[in-house]
Copies of this chain bind each other. A is one copy, B any other.
């Protein structure tokens, strides 16, 4: 690794933490906590290009550091490393301090393959994200040739995003459409997603989330279901109370895959 030259860039720390009690419906409730410290290094070239790198330090000693390196300019942003595929940008808000898993079944359908480079750009409310797998060895890598695209458009309080991803090795495809609304303390999200394997039947699902914020309190409710054989519908309600300074009390209760689940805890932003 060669990194000579004048260093005018900055390295900063931020992150977050969660802690609280969770119940998954089986066995007893238990303590769950996570800490995520983000290391961000950023600089700017003489001509105004932004560039940088980021890593995470988690509470687990051997947890992945999610390394990413980016260059950003008028052309958009290119990011390399442990990046998400484009359709990972589609999602349904989860409920609870750690997430009771309301969004898991439907979100699992939208993705296919993996990526090590993304390109993102947005102009006048239109956004585009492309993801691709180049591979990290001289051989045929598992993610090599995997491709994803996500298109979005925002107008006033409304947003729409649609994307598709393809795993080149298996031919499996994931796709989805997310609709959003956010205004006057009301937020609403709808996600439709479908997994289309190279062989066999498609699986599709959808989810809805509606939230209402008044002063420091946000209450929200979610519903989701898929047509996978044996998959039960999921529903739940949750709240988040903002204590200021980055600390919130957050909890939720719901039914996920026929299990009665809940969590209650704190979220911290640093």
A residues sitting closer than 8 Å to B (CB atoms) are: 1-11, 13-19, 21, 23-24, 26-28, 30-37, 39, 41-47, 49, 51-53, 55, 57-65, 67, 69, 71, 80-81, 94, 96-99, 116-117, 134-139, 141, 242-248, 250, 266-270
Q: In the bound complex, do residue A30 and residue B244 qualify as a contact, i.e. CB atoms below 8 Å apart?
A: no
Q: In the bound complex, do residue A47 and residue B243 qualify as a contact, i.e. CB atoms below 8 Å apart?
A: yes
Interface centre among A45, A52, A69, A97 (most CB of B within 10 A): A69
For A80, the chain B residues whose CB sits under 8 A away are 19, 31, 33
Give me 23 A-to-B residue pairs in the complex whose CB atoms sit less than 8 angstroms apart, sorted by A's number: A5-B242, A5-B246, A6-B245, A7-B14, A11-B14, A17-B41, A30-B135, A31-B134, A31-B136, A33-B69, A35-B69, A37-B39, A37-B41, A42-B270, A43-B245, A44-B245, A45-B244, A45-B245, A46-B243, A46-B244, A51-B268, A59-B65, A59-B81
Task: Return the 6 tightest CB-CB contacts between A and B, nearest first.
Answer: A27-B138, A3-B16, A46-B244, A59-B67, A11-B13, A7-B269
**C-alpha gap A31/B117 in the complex (Å):** 9
Given contacts A5-B269, A8-B245, A243-B45, contact A135 B28 (CB under 8 A): yes
Q: In the bound complex, do residue A55 and residue B37 qualify as a contact, i.e. CB atoms below 8 Å apart?
A: yes
Q: In the bound complex, do residue A5 and residue B45 qualify as a contact, i.e. CB atoms below 8 Å apart?
A: no
Q: In the bound complex, do residue A266 and residue B51 qualify as a contact, i.e. CB atoms below 8 Å apart?
A: yes
Besides A2-B98, A19-B81, 18 other A-B contacts (C-beta < 8 A): A2-B97, A2-B99, A4-B269, A9-B270, A15-B41, A15-B53, A17-B53, A19-B69, A27-B138, A28-B138, A30-B135, A35-B53, A37-B39, A37-B55, A41-B270, A45-B243, A52-B270, A55-B57
For A37, the chain B residues whose CB sits under 8 A away are 11, 39, 41, 55
Determine how close the nearest CB of chain B comes to the CB of A267; give it in whole angstroms.
5
Q: In the bound complex, do residue A62 and residue B59 qualify as a contact, i.e. CB atoms below 8 Å apart?
A: no
Q: In the bound complex, do residue A18 and residue B2 qualify as a contact, i.e. CB atoms below 8 Å apart?
A: yes
For A42, the chain B residues whose CB sits under 8 A away are 270
**C-alpha gap A19/B59 in the complex (Å):** 26
Given contacts A41-B17, A69-B35, contact A268 B28 (CB under 8 A): no
